[in-house]
Amino acid sequence: MSEPSRGPLRHFTCVGSYERCQAACMEPDRYRTLLALPANKPVIAMGAGLSLAGAGFSSDALTVDMRHFNRILDLDQEGMTLHVEAGATLASLFSFLADRGLMIAVQPGHPGITIGGCIAGNIHGKNQYRIGTFADLVEEIQLFHPAHGILDLNRQRHADVFELTVGGCGLTGIILSARIRLHPEAGKSCHVRHTPVAGMQDAVQQMKGQQQHEDFMYSWHDVTPFGGSAGKGFLVSGRFEPGTHERNGWRNHRPLHHASPWPLPVFNGLSLPLINGIYRRLKQGYAGTEDLFTSLFPFAIMPSYFHAYGPRGFIEHQVLIPDAHIVDYLERFLALAHDFRQSFGMVSLKRFRGERKLLRYSGDGFSVGLHLPATPKAIRFLAQLDEIDTQFMGIANIIKDARLPASVVAAQFPEYVQFRERLATFDPGRIFTSMLSRRLAL
Amino acid sequence: MKALVIGASAGLGRALAQQLGASGHELFLVASDQQDLLPLERDLSLRHGVTVHSAAVDLADLDPDALRHQVLEKMPDLSALFYVAGCAYNQDNGPVPAGVADRLLKVNFTSGARIINAFLDHLDAQPRGLVVGIGAVAAVRARGDNMIYAAAKRGLEFYCAALRHRYNRRPLTVQFYRVGYMLTSMLGGSETPLPAAAPEKIAAHIVAHLEEDFGMRHLPGWWFWVCLVLKLLPWTIFKRLSLEAPGR
């Protein structure tokens, strides 16, 4: 009688605002409501709704908002595992685990992301090279599919569905809960250093030499006329330290609006070169100690960064280029950026290590991350960059790039067809669908 | 404090259980479905280190004495009872099926009164007993929407007011809250003509004022003025008003 029904249409937008639509939504707070979903109607689960692509909504599907399924079910301190419902956010778990000297080792840039989102997107943190991706932390998943009921998945039981679910963008069903492997808390604070680099290729060489010794490392580059043709910038490296557990970042973090509330773009083609130049000069050479939360979630206390792109929003493009091609790739990338006079909000490098599998963003190489204002010129630039990515054996991050076409994903991922076929075998009706899955023809 | 929360698995009841747990109170949670109670029980005991018990009870098919026995066996020094349970029906604006009417009356009123009644002598015997009833602003003046729901909530309100009168010279405190629109599944995501409050905020207010003997309050507080206006409006104007959220 008091069950939530399909509510009125709600407006959804990804972070970055590029993919958006109106869709029906329900926000169940009881298992019986969730488990009563029909087996013949399109549906998709949504965690915090902080995906950079339209992974949690589609105009023809019912979005199931999982925010109320956020409870901690079990903590095995000796075995260092946490069993938690999928709607729990990383921020809500951070303090609980820190009090017990534990942490989730792989953390994305924003703490509002849910455990279900981390699994479905197979997110990575700031030291994928040493820690791996979220897939490496997932021991068990409880998955609900209206046609299959509740399935307990792990690497032995329903192993095929487990593989499809981790990094599967929510297309196998609704993740109810998961058992996550924990690590001892690496420190109470983090000493962060910004080391100037002459360009992106210089950053690659330095990361190859230093990555093993740092708790996290990535680079930031000024790819504008002020940053020179090589993309001057700095390496950001951090080492966790013991000491007092300051929680200023945890206390001060603010939720992220999906769509920018700012009426005009502060970040645009004219302002970005200047802002990048000033930022580089201010930040290079910086060294200081930050609390652990702030160092893990740099975007948590500055949501205004995302809002500054204005109502038109931005696009994130991430591509993983094998070690053997990264130097040549960067040369082509910088030349293309120069030809287009393309402005970036952010250009960053991270080193990766691991196995390529299905549609996951993992493997050996360097991850090149870009934020661009979502202008028609940027779309043309990215279309050409897609070709260069493919030519250099790169794979794009499908969960982050809201305009990535199916043809590019099919060309870049050798197991694209296999993913589709295995998904269709598990779910012939293919009821789990999103804007992302439709765009990528999954 | 050792508290019994009826209707604890979702909405305001769950928020209340979370805030009481965070304040270190031992809890006994009652809701209709064990599948929802167990995760909450685990979560509260892990996060806050408090003892939490639970029982699945269908309030439309209630044995108050059995519940009393079950609760007091686990929590012999129970000192507070929160009746938060409620349910609505989105076509409660005319004849409704008999089973639905029966459920609306039981969950929103008679089961509440029967449970409070079953624990009354026990709570009265405590040094600082507390009964908290949760009502709705829909019950402030009779209207053609949510007819049975509002009548039942009004019944609960009346019963709690009577209890407060009866026990005014005893250490037992009776509080009653008329709550406005809340962002819970009962609202079903519908737009509301006046702002809806987060259940966490309502729960925080309730937990912060457990010691006070104020009788009845509106939450959020500005609903007092809305309800006052509604009560004073002449019939010729009032009959044209619709303050209900669509779908409720």
State pLDDT tens for residues B3-43: 999 999 999 999 999 999 999 999 999 999 999 999 999 99
What CATH number does residue B15 fall under?
3.40.50.720
pLDDT for A2 beyond 50: no
Q: Residues B207-212: what's their mean pLDDT?
A: 95
| A75 contact residues in B (CB cutoff 8 A) | 46
Q: Residues B194-211: what's their mean pLDDT?
A: 95
Angle between helices A326-340 and A200-210 (to 10 degrees): 150
Q: Where are the domains of chain A?
A: 189-406
Q: Using 50, 70 and 90 to split pLDDT, how confident is the model at B56?
A: very high
Other Cβ atoms closer than 10 A to B231 = 10
Residue A226 gets which letter from DSSP?
G
Place of tokens 């929360």: B5
State pLDDT tens for residues A407-431: 999 999 999 999 999 999 999 999 9
In this structure, is residue B248 part of a structural domain?
A: no
B8: three-class secondary structure by DSSP:
coil
Give the span between the Cα atoms of A402 and A435, in whole angstroms.
Answer: 9
Give the span between the Cα atoms of A95 and B146, in whole angstroms.
Answer: 42
Q: Chain A within 8 Å of B104 (Cβ-Cβ)?
A: yes
Residue A353 token pair? 């290590």
Give the span between the Cα atoms of A59 and A62, in whole angstroms.
Answer: 8
Range name among A243-247, A349-353, A372-376, B119-123 with the lowest pLDDT average = A243-247
Q: Using 50, 70 and 90 to split pLDDT, how confident is the model at A209?
A: confident
Q: Which residues numbered 115-174 in B keep a CB inside 8 Å of some CB on A?
A: none
pLDDT of residue A207: 92
pLDDT for A245 beyond 60: no
| B46 contact residues in A (CB cutoff 8 A) | 72, 74-75, 96
The candidate with the shortest Cα–Cα distance to A370, out of A391, A394, A353, is: A394
Contact yes or no for A2 and B36 at CB 8 A = no
- The domain A189-406 is placed in CATH, from the list 3.40.50.10790, 3.40.710.10, 1.10.287.180, 3.30.70.2520, at 3.30.70.2520
pLDDT for B137 beyond 90: yes
pLDDT of residue A3: 42
Length of chain A, in residues: 442
To the nearest whole angstrom, how far is the Cα of A373 from the nearest Cα of chain B? 33
Q: Chain A within 8 Å of B247 (Cβ-Cβ)?
A: yes
pLDDT of residue B248: 43
Q: Into how many domains does chain B fold?
A: 1
pLDDT of residue B69: 97
Give the span between the Cα atoms of A174 and A159, in whole angstroms.
Answer: 17
In this structure, is residue B49 part of a structural domain?
A: yes
Q: Using 50, 70 and 90 to split pLDDT, how confident is the model at A4?
A: very low
| Residue in A with minimal Cα distance to B9 | A30
* Mean pLDDT estimate for chain A: 91
Q: What ipTM describes this predicted complex? A: 0.89
The residues pairing with A309 across neighbouring beta strands, listed in sequence order, are: none
In this structure, is residue B246 part of a structural domain?
A: no
Place of tokens 């490496």: A136
Contact yes or no for A32 and B47 at CB 8 A = no
- Residue range of the domain that includes B182: 2-238
A48: three-class secondary structure by DSSP:
coil
* Mean pLDDT estimate for chain B: 93
State pLDDT tens for residues A76-113: 999 999 999 999 999 999 989 998 999 999 988 888 99
R_g (Cα) of chain B, nearest Å: 17
The candidate with the shortest Cα–Cα distance to A177, out of A207, A213, A153, A149, is: A153
CA B36 from chain centre, in angstroms, equals 18
| B103 contact residues in A (CB cutoff 8 A) | 1
In this structure, is residue B164 part of a structural domain?
A: yes
Residue of A1, A31, A33 with shortest CB distance to B89 = A1
Contact yes or no for A8 and B88 at CB 8 A = no
